[in-house]
Structure 1
């Protein structure tokens, strides 16, 4: 991974992820106040659900809160498991078990998945349920890991389980990090009374490791405009190239969805943003074929550039040169007009490429490496 480290230092090393700003100020003012409120309420929480992104199980942890969380009943919910590599996910579960930490991969939009999480929470609270009339569960996590989506799913389950009299408020869910900016309480059970506190996503004021910051940006925990879409796309390409991922795309099944065709020469109006959850304009079957073909073109473009390049991607200069060539290949694959200026084209390429990645169209990934630790005897 030396080539990646060199590339980060040389090509992307002008960033400063800290509260003072530097090149990037990613710690908005409301986060400082929210962090203080979270610290205060953690003292009275009976259990904490710490939501992390399954693609970055370590990088999506708020390091400043870990000392406080270590002393609480806690369940680590690795959300967005549908976007994470299942061949590696079980290794992460085993890692957390080795660390004596309860962990469960979930999909916050899946009722069955959230039910399993609630069963684990109730098991963890079993002793307290017998003797406490009111219990408090707190949901914490960095921005955009799916806390609000989880809260909403818990509400739907609670409404079917308990005859709750008062109307329950739903959490606000948005595609951008930092939508929830205040702490709100929600009652999810009657006997005993169990309340869930939803909290705003908060980052740490300073991150010394640039790669950790870029992983958070890639996962959407920081607004793209703060870091820059092109920087994030460059990082994604660097990781894919170092891992040799494009080489694995050679043997992918290229079949179309049966019976659906569209004119490839005709301008297709489908917007890739509609792939994101909660969008009103769902893709029809023709749109799905268009996206499928677009993905295949992108994968083929990256495979071709890697195989034709033939130089050492572990060298940061060669890696930087390869990524520049890939931006040109992706412009063609993503059907970005040639009349666009170079800067405009690279921005459009970055946005579309990141959308395909974030919606899982390029495949499932986990970007953190499982630490090597010795089992506790």
Structure 2
């Protein structure tokens, strides 16, 4: 079982142990969305036993930029036997509230500015309310704040794109996801070299992504897992990776903003799933110090207090 699936199941089990009602769904899948709608309908019928003529409303609540609007639209479309779902999400339904935990990235945090209502079922009539994202007024835990920034819950510029990309690399370097790219190691880049002149700025092309994966695998492997438990070694590896990725991303040597360009492209590949899938919040352990993963220095004042 892939690591992220295993982590997701652990979260489901953890919530069930706390007597929370949990449900996992893939909203790319029509059948999965229908199951979710049926699940919500059954839950509402339990709460409104004997009253078949009522109208019920379910509220979608979550942090900014997790895809709440996508799941609301998917439920609305499937509920009306219309178009397919729009995003992949894992959601938990707890005590009549829907909480989004795994996200599909959108362009910017805070796209939803008001509360919108969508009909998702009849007999009984059920509406889902899509709401703007919410955050705590202050987030003192640097690790949690870094994860929120990495998922796009706040603007990258509030943290710094370079610091955020460095943090992502520390997550990737401490994970097992990179091992899937072993088959790319040692392969010549001749095909990539032939194609470099075609779309030099498009980092989303497959051959560019393959080069990035190859570089990440080879650099991590050259250090060894035990070395990465030391902060200094992790920092050295990240600097080595940034330098190598300049070539993979076809960034001109005279680009004075090349480091930031690498950071932006790296974050984009992560958020679009091209560099693997990660559960940023594992089940908390008694003595969990997050090993050598060091978040950037983020002050609570960096988080916007409104329009999130």
TM-score (norm 1): 0.61
2:70 pairs with 1:149: yes
Deviations 1:27-68, CA, capped at 9 Å, x for gaps: xxxxxxxxxxxxxxxxxxxxxxxxxxxxxxxxxxxxxxxxxx
Q: What's the CA shift for 1:309?
A: 4.1
2:246 pairs with 1:314: no
Residues 238, 141 of structure 1: alpha-carbon distance in 2 compared, 3 angstrom cutoff: same
Q: How many corresponding residue pairs?
A: 257
Give unmatched runs, 5+ long, in structure 2: 83-104, 287-308
Deviations 1:160-218, CA, capped at 9 Å, x for gaps: 29xxxxxxxxxxx9521101111122333343332221110111111111111111111
Q: Decide whether the 8 Å contact of 1:249 with 1:300 is kept in 2.
A: yes
Q: What's the CA shift for 1:90?
A: 2.3
Match of 1:223 among 144, 150, 155: 155
Q: What's the CA shift for 1:230?
A: 1.0
Quote the residue 1:355 is aligned against: 268
2:114 pairs with 1:200: no
Residues 109, 144 of structure 1: alpha-carbon distance in 2 compared, 3 angstrom cutoff: farther
Query: For residues 192 and 136 of structure 2, what CA distance do their matches in structure 1 show?
Result: 49
Quote the residue 1:369 is aligned against: 282
Deviations 1:259-298, CA, capped at 9 Å, x for gaps: x9993242316745xx6xxxxxxxxxxxxxxx22222211
Query: For residues 367 and 212 of structure 1, what CA distance do their matches in structure 2 show?
Result: 9
Quote the residue 2:295 is aligned against: none
Quote the residue 2:114 is aligned against: 182
SS of 2:255's partner is coil
Give unmatched runs, 5+ long, in structure 1: 1-82, 162-172, 276-290
Q: What's the CA shift for 1:313?
A: 2.0
Query: For residues 177 and 129 of structure 1, what CA distance do their matches in structure 2 show?
Result: 39
Q: Decide whether the 8 Å contact of 1:109 with 1:150 is kept in 2.
A: no
Residues 262, 124 of structure 1: alpha-carbon distance in 2 compared, 3 angstrom cutoff: farther
Q: After the TM superposition, which residues 14-33 of structure 1 pair with which residues of structure 2 at under 5 Å, given as runs?
A: none
Quote the residue 1:346 is aligned against: 259
Query: For residues 133 and 254 of structure 1, what CA distance do their matches in structure 2 show?
Result: 64
2:1 pairs with 1:86: no
Quote the residue 1:51 is aligned against: none
Query: For residues 145 and 248 of structure 1, what CA distance do their matches in structure 2 show?
Result: 26
Quote the residue 1:234 is aligned against: 166
Q: Decide whether the 8 Å contact of 2:63 with 2:135 is kept in 1.
A: yes
TM-score (norm 2): 0.74
Q: Decide whether the 8 Å contact of 2:110 with 2:132 is kept in 1.
A: yes
Q: What's the CA shift for 1:299?
A: 1.8
Query: For residues 150 and 156 of structure 1, what CA distance do their matches in structure 2 show?
Result: 10
Q: What's the CA shift for 1:319?
A: 1.6
Deviations 1:137-172, CA, capped at 9 Å, x for gaps: 1111111111101111112122229xxxxxxxxxxx
Q: What's the CA shift for 1:348?
A: 0.8
Quote the residue 2:175 is aligned against: 243
Deviations 1:288-315, CA, capped at 9 Å, x for gaps: xxx2222221122122223334682222
